[in-house]
Amino acid sequence: MATIGDVARVAGVSRSTASYALSGKRAITPAVRAKVEEAVRELGYTPNAGARALATSQTRVLGLLARFLEDEFAPAMLQYILGVTDEARRLGYDTLLVSEEDGVRALQRLANSRMVDGFVLLNVAERDDRLGVLREARQPGVLVGLPERTSGVDVFDLDFVATGRLMVDRMHELGHHELILVSQPEHVVERGGAYVWRLANAARERAAQLGIGLHTYFGSSSQPSIGQDLNGFLDAHPTATGLLLNNEAAAAALPSVLAARGLRIPEDISVIGRYSDDFARTFSLPFSSIDSAADELGRAAVQQLVARIEGRIAAGAPNIVHLISPEIHERGSTAAPREILDQSG
Amino acid sequence: MATIGDVARVAGVSRSTASYALSGKRAITPAVRAKVEEAVRELGYTPNAGARALATSQTRVLGLLARFLEDEFAPAMLQYILGVTDEARRLGYDTLLVSEEDGVRALQRLANSRMVDGFVLLNVAERDDRLGVLREARQPGVLVGLPERTSGVDVFDLDFVATGRLMVDRMHELGHHELILVSQPEHVVERGGAYVWRLANAARERAAQLGIGLHTYFGSSSQPSIGQDLNGFLDAHPTATGLLLNNEAAAAALPSVLAARGLRIPEDISVIGRYSDDFARTFSLPFSSIDSAADELGRAAVQQLVARIEGRIAAGAPNIVHLISPEIHERGSTAAPREILDQSG
DNA sequence: ACGGTTCATCGAACCGGTTCGAGGCTAAGG
DNA sequence: CCTTAGCCTCGAACCGGTTCGATGAACCGT
Q: What is the pLDDT of residue B255?
A: 87
Give the pLDDT of residue A306: 97
Do residues A313 and B282 touch, judged by C-beta distance below 8 A?
no
**Average pLDDT of A320-328?**
96
Span A74-100, average pLDDT: 93
Same-domain status, A175 and A226: yes
Q: Which residues of A touch B77 (CB under 8 A)?
A: 78
Mean of pLDDT over chain B: 92
3-class DSSP string for chain A? CCCHHHHHHHHCCCHHHHHHHHHCCCCCCHHHHHHHHHHHHHHCCCCCHHHHHHHHCCCCEEEEECCCCCCCCCHHHHHHHHHHHHHHHHCCCEEEEECCCCHHHHHHHHHHCCCCCEEEEECCCCCCCHHHHHHHCCCCEEEECCCCCCCCCEEEEECHHHHHHHHHHHHHHHCCCEEEEEECCHHHHHCCCHHHHHHHHHHHHHHHHHCCEEEEEECCCCCCHHHHHHHHHHHHCCCCCEEEECCHHHHHHHHHHHHHHCCCCCCCCEEEEECCHHHHHHCCCCCEEECCCHHHHHHHHHHHHHHHHCCCCCCCCCCCEEEECCCEECCCCCCCCHHHHHHHC
Q: Distances in Å between the alpha carbon of B335 and those of B207, B212, B269?
A: 18, 16, 8
Question: Same structural domain for residues A129 and A43?
Answer: no
Q: Which residue is nearest to nucleotide C10 (CA to C1')?
A: B14
Q: Which residue is nearest to nucleotide C20 (CA to C1')?
A: A16
What length does chain B have? 345
Strand D proximal residues, A:13-32, Cβ < 7 Å: 13-17, 20, 26-29, 31-32
Residue B282 lies in a domain: yes
Does A134 share its domain with A182? no
Q: For residue A113, is pLDDT > 90?
A: yes
Mean pLDDT of B255-280: 90
Cα B201 off chain centre by? 21
Structural domain includes residue B54? no
Among A73, A113, A138, select the one facing B48 at the smallest CB separation: A113
pLDDT at position A102 over 50:
yes
Say if residue B327's pLDDT is above 90.
Answer: yes
pLDDT for res A69:
76
Give the CA B12 to C1' C9 distance in Å. 12
Q: Which domain holds residue A279?
A: 160-291+329-344
For position B246, what pLDDT does the model report?
Answer: 95
**Confidence check: pLDDT of A340 > 70:** no
pLDDT digits (tens, 9 = 90+) for B70-98: 767 777 889 899 999 999 999 999 999 99
pLDDT band at B343 (very low <50, low <70, confident <90, very high): low
B224: cis peptide before it, omega within 30°? yes
Count of C-beta atoms within a 10 Å radius of residue A5: 11
Q: What are phi and psi of B26, to 5 degrees?
A: -140, 155
Select the more confidently predicted residue: A195 or B88. B88
Q: Which chain A residues contact residue B109 at CB under 8 A?
A: 46
Closest by Cβ to A49, choosing from B115, B252, B278: B115
Q: Measured between alpha carbons, how far is B84 from A99 in angstroms, rounded to an integer? A: 10
A contact test, residue of B112, B184, B279, B331 with most A CBs within 10 A: B112
The pLDDT value recorded for residue B345 is 40
**B146 lies in the same domain as B218:** no
Residue A52 within a domain: no
> pLDDT tens, A114-172?
999 999 999 999 999 999 999 999 999 999 999 999 999 999 999 999 999 999 999 99
Q: Are residues B114 and B181 in the same domain?
A: no
Total domain count, chain A:
3
Helices (H) and strands (E) in chain B, counts: 15, 12
The separation between CA A178 and the C-alpha centre of its own chain, rounded to angstroms, equals 31
Percent of chain A whose pLDDT exceeds 90: 79
With beta carbons less than 8 A apart as the criterion, state whether B82 and B95 touch.
Answer: no
Nucleotide nearest to A20 (CA to C1'): C18
Asked if B207 and B336 sit in the same domain, the reply is yes
| Minimum distance, in Å, between the CA of residue A102 and any CA atom of chain B | 11
In this structure, are B336 and B205 located in the same domain?
Answer: yes
pLDDT tens sequence across A58-84: 999 999 999 887 767 777 889 899 999
Q: How many percent of chain B have pLDDT more than 90?
A: 79
**B55 within domain boundaries:** no
Q: Is B56 within the bounds of a domain?
A: no
Strand B328-329 to B288-290 pairing: antiparallel
Nucleotide nearest to B29 (CA to C1'): C8
- pLDDT score recorded for residue B103: 92
Say if residue B342's pLDDT is above 60: no
Examine the domain organization and report whether B265 and B287 are in the same domain.
yes
Residue B72 falls inside a structural domain: yes
CA of A291 to C1' of D23 (A): 71
Here the CATH number for the domain that contains residue B15 is: 1.10.260.40
pLDDT(B8) > 70: yes
Q: Are residue B339 and residue B205 in the same domain, yes or no?
A: yes
CB contact (8 A) between residue A51 and residue B47: no
Q: For residue B340, what pLDDT is reported?
A: 57
Same-domain pairing of B33 and B12: yes
pLDDT at residue B144 greater than cutoff 90: yes
> Of the candidates B239, B238, B219, which has an alpha carbon nearest to the alpha carbon of residue B229?
B219
Contacts of B236 (CB under 8 A, 6+ apart): B215
Secondary structure class of B288 (helix, strand, coil)? strand
Residue B203 sits in the same domain as residue B258:
yes
Q: Is position A55 within any domain?
A: no
Is there a contact between B259 and A259 (Cβ–Cβ < 8 Å)? Answer: yes
Q: Is the pLDDT of residue B109 over 70?
A: yes
- Give the nearest partner residue to B95 out of A1, A97, A112, using CB atoms: A97
Determine the distance between A16 (CA) and C22 (C1') in angstroms: 14
Mean pLDDT of A272-290: 87
Inter-helix orientation angle B30-43/B15-23, to 10°: 100
Query: Which pLDDT score, from 0 to 100, does residue A341 have?
Result: 52
Q: What is the pLDDT of residue B69?
A: 76
Tell me, yes or no, whether A151 and A216 share the same domain: no
Nucleotide nearest to B14 (CA to C1'): C10
Q: How confident is the model at residue A345 (pLDDT cuts 50, 70, 90)?
A: very low
> Is the pLDDT confidence value at A286 over 90?
no
Is strand C within 7 Å of residue A58 (CB)? no
Quote the CA–CA distance of B185 and B200 in Å, as a whole number.
Answer: 13
Q: Are B171 and B242 in contact (CB under 8 A)?
A: yes
Q: Is residue A78 situated within a structural domain?
A: yes
Q: Which residue has the higher pLDDT, B2 or A314?
A: B2
CATH number for A129? 3.40.50.2300
